[in-house]
């Protein structure tokens, strides 16, 4: 693998980035805004250019949310499978944006669709990362009743990532919604157990429990601020870090 050099070494060598589908629609009410996905791709490519191995899990909430559809009477399994297919659409859009920048990518899907994506194979994914390719994981875990948050935690463990990065529209974790509660202060550091006990909106409980059981740190940061992803990877104190009690 060709080593990409930089003036200072990144703190993390292999990352798993979780992006929600809603992050791709900008101020629109649904769908993909090309300018937004181009910006996200530019941030990922910047990190990739540091020599960091990058894997991405992307949601599909900008197109279809299985939980919402199930709450309106649709069969949950069918609704979740529709949501998984929505993540493939987003993954293809992100792959295109990255490749237009010159990035080398591979798209792997947990649901077999060989015409557009490789099947998810753990060892193959790791090999792609070792070769400097950006690996995009689509279709969640391939199973209903599991969110893309859980898929992100699972894939982070499977590819032995150093950290799970949760990209959001806010600066980190807050005790209340900062968009609805002005003046609330950001929490800089938490344990996985605190997130579960306080029911903080970081990731779903299954994802947090999986990360806790496997000592996987999670950093929640604001994706909309240019350069934030790079700052996180370089070890700057950006966002909120969620880690095990042994790291306190």
The 10s digit of each residue's pLDDT in 33-52 is 999 999 999 999 999 999 99
CA distance 57 to 38: 17
- 62, part of any domain: yes
pLDDT: which is higher, 27 or 137: 137
- 43, part of any domain: yes
**Which pLDDT score, from 0 to 100, does residue 1 have?**
46
Domains in the chain: how many in total?
1
Tokens linked to 64: 């279809």
- 41, part of any domain: yes
pLDDT cut 70: percent of the chain above it: 95
Cβ 1 vs Cβ 131: under 8 Å:
yes
Find the domain containing 204 and state its range: 14-247
**Which pLDDT score, from 0 to 100, does residue 247 have?**
60
- 95, part of any domain: yes
Mean pLDDT of the chain: 92
Cβ 107 vs Cβ 138: under 8 Å:
yes
| pLDDT band at 72; cut points 50, 70, 90 | confident
**Which pLDDT score, from 0 to 100, does residue 7 have?**
55
Any idea which of 116-120, 146-150, 166-170, 203-207 has the lowest mean pLDDT?
166-170
Find tokens 């990739």 and name the residue.
Answer: 48
Nearest residue to 109 via CA among 133, 89, 139: 139
Q: Taking each helix axis from N to C terminus, what angle separates 205-213 and 148-158, rounded to the nearest 10 degrees?
A: 20
Region 101-128: mean pLDDT is: 97
- 7, part of any domain: no
Tokens linked to 236: 């700057």
- 2, part of any domain: no
CA distance 173 to 242: 9
What is the SS3 assignment for 8-69?
A: CCCCCCEEEEEECHHHHCCCCCCCCCHHHHHHHHHHHHHHHCCCCEEEEEECCCCCCCHHHH
Contacts 24+ apart (CB under 8 A), 63-68: 63/21, 63/30, 63/31, 63/89, 63/90, 66/144
Cβ 228 vs Cβ 175: under 8 Å:
no
- Each residue of 212-223: pLDDT tens digit? 999 999 999 999
DSSP secondary structure letters along 84-105:
HHHHHHHHHHHHHHHHHTT--E
- Identify the CATH number of the domain in which residue 77 sits: 3.40.1160.10
For the chain, count helices (H), then strands (E).
8, 9
- 4, part of any domain: no
Question: pTM score, two decimals?
Answer: 0.91
- Each residue of 127-161: pLDDT tens digit? 999 999 999 999 999 999 999 999 999 999 999 99
- 26, part of any domain: yes
């Amino acid at each position: 693998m060709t080593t990409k050099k930089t003036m200072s070494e990144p703190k993390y060598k292999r990352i798993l980035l979780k992006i929600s589908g809603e992050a791709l629609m900008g101020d629109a009410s649904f769908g993909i805004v090309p300018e937004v996905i181009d910006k996200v791709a530019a941030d990922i490519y910047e990190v990739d250019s540091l020599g960091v191995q990058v894997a991405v899990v992307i949601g599909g909430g900008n197109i279809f949310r299985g939980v919402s559809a199930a709450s309106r009477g649709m069969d949950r399994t069918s609704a979740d499978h529709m949501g998984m297919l929505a993540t493939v659409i987003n993954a293809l859009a992100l792959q295109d944006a990255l490749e237009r920048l010159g990035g080398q990518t591979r798209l792997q899907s947990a649901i077999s669709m060989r015409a557009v994506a490789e099947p998810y194979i753990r060892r193959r994914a790791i090999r792609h990362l070792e070769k400097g390719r950006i690996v995009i994981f689509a279709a969640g875990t391939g199973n209903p009743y599991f969110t893309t948050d859980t898929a992100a935690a699972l894939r982070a463990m499977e590819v032995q990532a150093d950290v799970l990065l949760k990209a959001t529209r806010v600066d980190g974790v807050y005790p209340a919604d900062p968009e609805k509660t002005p003046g609330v202060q950001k929490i800089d550091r938490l344990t996985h157990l605190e997130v579960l006990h306080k029911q903080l909106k970081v990731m779903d409980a299954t994802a947090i429990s999986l990360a806790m059981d496997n000592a996987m740190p999670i950093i929640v940061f604001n994706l909309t601020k240019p350069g934030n992803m790079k700052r996180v990877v370089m070890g700057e104190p950006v966002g909120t870090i969620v880690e095990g009690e042994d790291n306190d």
